Structure 1
Amino acid sequence: MQRHLEIWGTKDPNVSAQLALAMQRNLFHDVGLDVSYKFIESGTTMPKDILAVEQKPFAFIQTPISALLLRDKGLPVKIVAPLADIGGTQQLILHPNVQLNSPKDLEGKRIAMAQDAAIYIAISNMARDLGINLRNVEFVDLLPHQQIQAFLDGEVDAIASWEPWTTGARKFGGQMYFSGVRSEIPDMEGDVSWLVDQACLIVSEEYIQHYPEEIKAILRVLHIATNLINEQRREVVKELAWFFEVTQYELIAAMRKNLYSMKFDNLFRIGLLAFRDFLYNEGIVSRMYAEQELYDTSLLRQIAPDLVTFSAKTAQPVPVVERPSVYYRQDITLSEDTRIRFLVADDSKVVRASLAQTVEILGGEVVAEAKTGQEAIDAFFHLRPNFVTMDLSMPGMSGIDAIKRIIEFDPATNVIVISGSDMKELREEVFELGVKIFIVKPFDPLLVAEIIGLLLL
């Protein structure tokens, strides 16, 4: 435990609040660790910075993008714990001179964004749901402080960044258009799941193998710091505002948009696999890494088993038929009562409207809509529909967990998954649970209605 350890973070309260607090209160010393720190401006540069130094940091705190980029560059690292859900801090802020009649008007605009920033996934998912062609949007590669200057100078129409930079842009009259978890788009206001993004503790496979006790000590300290942030937020803000070079008001406003938690759950898995698929499909990483290459929960389980709320297992292959944007199990029919009654669960108002079209074409009825997994469970037990459409990534509880509860209660329920990402592991897992159809967004309501109709008894 006397080995000197260097831990890297960013000058960013969303990603590195726990690390900064541990430094400020000397928490690592209290568990017998000799730790030094390095904080850089933006996590988007961290992979290059780590690869450039001969002595790699013992651990670093960043989003899954950095872990994937480093592995692809030959430095095998793994996520050993989540630290915070930061999707709400990832925002697109419109310049005060920009007026949009509809989201489609983003085409032709200039958006400042750091290269490989997670916010681009939120933008992509928003564009998918709302039919925007991102090839017609100009993205300008700028770091956060450069984005603010370009915003002030009127050189860009919007910035795609994170707190506290986004609050800075709003101070100069900017308007939040959407974040990873919230839409303020006129007539489309509400919670969304356009980005599941997490700050994570990341360590090399070599160190996981040779220094597990040191990593567990780091995890214990970060767990303490997480609890302090959640239980003593105002006191923590007073201590850290100077470090992050913002006012106490700006810091607490930024931190309120985060969920500081080390819970390793299915929602985290969905977000991680979505990052992997996105980076591979965009040609940013060279191969589709297996899920077990991306994280290791064993050390977190040892110090706080309640924080790991899923059991990763290899699903048994289920034979499926593939159609454009649709998969369904072979030789399966959907049980039909006298009426076709649907529960539609999706956090996107646009997707719920498309599903309502599908149900109308089928001659069915939407008896309830849900925006979260828990709302879906509550509505199911109250109304007992015979069809359920379920998004996998929704606020609070993942669709996977909601599906388990519903099918355990009534295995005959016709569950149809809706997913923005066609992730093989999750698709196989939900089919094994008893899901009958898997639909990839965006989808054609007429085609989906045709397939469901052919499978009805």
Structure 2
Amino acid sequence: MSKKLEIWGVNDPNISAQLALAIKLDLFAKEAGLDVVCRFAESGTTMPQDVLHAEQKPFAFTQTPITSILLHDKGVSTKILAPLADIAGTQQVVIHRASGIHTPQDLEGKRIGIAKGAAVFIALTNMAKDCHVDLDQVYFINLLPSDQLAAFREKKLDAIACWEPWTTEAQHYGGEFFFSGTRSEIPHIEGNVNWLINQSCLIAPDETIDREPEKLIMILKVLQKATLMLELYFEEAAALLSEFFQRSPEDMQSIMRKNTYSMIMDSLFRIGVLSFRDFLYENGRVALKFSENQLYRTDLLREVDPALVLLEKGTKKDVGFFEKEGIYYKDNVSFEGDLSRLRFLMADDSVVVRNFLNRTLEILQAESLGEATTGQEAIDMFARLRPNFMTMDLSMPGLSGVDAIQQIRQMDPHVNIIVISGIDVQEVREEVFKLGVKIFIKKPFVPEKAASVIRNILEKSITN
């Protein structure tokens, strides 16, 4: 048995399910011969400070990319080694039935409990952009989850912006689910949304990676086995975790089914990490935009299983483009193929955006062939319908828009793809332009302006 390794987690199955399962089943010792001791802190946003002030830094820890980025800013270099779960669906806003909140605009002037630095604030921000809510008029109260729940129960808060299991508990005390990072119950915009990409991850300090990479690979293999158990034996694993996290089996299954437990490092993972980086930088939380090489690495996970790494880092090559009111395009952009009929296929999981897109197509007098809500559905519908134009979101469930674009361009290199995305990240824009995208339109957008840009390019394409 090797020396003791301390791994930190949190009392939260969204962040630390695999770690807790590994401890419960003694997998570190049985599978890897490692002597691992785990410390599980209260779920919240305090881990960056805990790591900074610890006399002995953890060997590794489970948290979201926000923690890693904030530590970088304080001079503690860490790397994300693997995603563990897509947890955006557990990041929720719950409103009190007595609050008088019925529409997004009703949030203005109300009191919302939220932990400072919580990822759910990004979902709130994106919802506000789509629904035209002035967040400066909202009173945000900085509270950790347990304190939010107590204040909500006493009707001192009109809503909480938090995560499972506290959001489910809040619904026992007069709360109603309003929206999450992936789903909305807001009147008239019920359904899937893409207001947040958020993943729990295994993170390690650079000095740990440099000193003992082999042990980190063994830890990753253990977490991979725990992930496989969650996929194949979900109910049995949830029962074990209900004991660990002291929740009823029914509550534990309800909470965990909102997550997708996976260690695949793909385009959606990359988009999420870079989106957090830009958000923290633009809001003054960090001083620098750290590079991808500073934030995560793929080599250790590739050692565990090459099939888990679907990212290929190419050499950086500048892509020149113009930007006008949130619409990006190259100077020499032109549409291809037969342009006598504009036949569009839309791919976006948000009914809000699809409504704006339908208005855009009406202005262009274009034909809508259909609406896809996932990347795979977009590929399947494209193969069947063969439109000459396609709008593509980047952060749909499952297969990302980036991966869908690659596959669609292989089927038809001349299809005119227009990205409509809330992901306004330079590296991602450059990647999709390299893949042959014609226009990148940032959400939220004005249908009339989008139609005007498309029409101008269309006229130049026909003339040439």
Establish whether TM, by shorter chain, passes 0.5: yes
1:343 corresponds in structure 2 to 345
The percent of aligned pairs where both chains have the same amino acid is 53
Equivalent-residue separation in structure 2 for 1:65 and 1:256 (angstroms):
23
Equivalent-residue separation in structure 2 for 1:404 and 1:435 (angstroms):
10
2:53 corresponds in structure 1 to 52
Question: Does the Cα contact within 8 Å between 2:346 and 2:391 map onto a contact in 1?
Answer: yes
Equivalent-residue separation in structure 1 for 2:101 and 2:228 (angstroms):
42
**Match runs of 1:57-136 below 5 Å:** 57-136=58-137
- 2:391 paired with 1:392: no
Report how far residue 315 of structure 1 moved: 4.7
**Match runs of 1:363-378 below 5 Å:** 363-378=365-380
> How big is each residue's C-alpha offset from its partner over 1:377-404, in whole Å with a ceiling of 9 and x where there is no partner?
1221111111111111111111001111
Equivalent-residue separation in structure 2 for 1:235 and 1:340 (angstroms):
52
AA partner of residue 328 (structure 1):
Y
Unaligned runs of 5+ in 1: none
Equivalent-residue separation in structure 2 for 1:448 and 1:361 (angstroms):
10
Question: Does the Cα contact within 8 Å between 2:183 and 2:192 map onto a contact in 1?
Answer: yes
Report how far residue 233 of structure 1 moved: 2.1
Equivalent-residue separation in structure 2 for 1:408 and 1:9 (angstroms):
42
Equivalent-residue separation in structure 2 for 1:382 and 1:238 (angstroms):
43
- 2:346 paired with 1:383: no
2:148 corresponds in structure 1 to 147
1:316 corresponds in structure 2 to 317
AA partner of residue 271 (structure 2):
I
1:266 corresponds in structure 2 to 267
2:417 corresponds in structure 1 to 415
Equivalent-residue separation in structure 1 for 2:397 and 2:239 (angstroms):
30
Equivalent-residue separation in structure 2 for 1:234 and 1:436 (angstroms):
46
AA partner of residue 249 (structure 1):
E
3-state SS of 1:322 partner: strand
3-state SS of 2:46 partner: helix
> How big is each residue's C-alpha offset from its partner over 1:51-104, in whole Å with a ceiling of 9 and x where there is no partner?
111110000000000000001110000100001111111111111212334211
State the Cα RMSD in Å: 1.3
Of 336-345 and 218-227, the range deviating more from structure 2: 336-345
AA partner of residue 366 (structure 1):
S
Normalized against structure 1, the TM-score is what? 0.98
2:180 corresponds in structure 1 to 179
Question: Does the Cα contact within 8 Å between 1:370 and 1:376 map onto a contact in 2?
Answer: yes
3-state SS of 2:288 partner: coil
Question: Does the Cα contact within 8 Å between 1:319 and 1:329 map onto a contact in 2?
Answer: yes
Normalized against structure 2, the TM-score is what? 0.96
Equivalent-residue separation in structure 1 for 2:113 and 2:427 (angstroms):
34
Report how far residue 349 of structure 1 moved: 1.1
- 2:7 paired with 1:18: no
Question: Does the Cα contact within 8 Å between 1:110 and 1:156 map onto a contact in 2?
Answer: yes
Report how far residue 359 of structure 1 moved: 1.6
Equivalent-residue separation in structure 1 for 2:44 and 2:177 (angstroms):
22
Question: Does the Cα contact within 8 Å between 2:80 and 2:204 map onto a contact in 1?
Answer: yes
Moved over 3 A (4+): none
**Match runs of 1:436-455 below 5 Å:** 436-455=438-457
Report how far residue 254 of structure 1 moved: 0.7
Question: Does the Cα contact within 8 Å between 1:315 and 1:429 map onto a contact in 2?
Answer: no
1:165 corresponds in structure 2 to 166
Report how far residue 243 of structure 1 moved: 2.3
Of 221-230 and 54-63, the range deviating more from structure 2: 221-230
Equivalent-residue separation in structure 1 for 2:2 and 2:44 (angstroms):
29
3-state SS of 1:97 partner: coil
Of 235-244 and 255-264, the range deviating more from structure 2: 235-244
Equivalent-residue separation in structure 1 for 2:97 and 2:361 (angstroms):
41
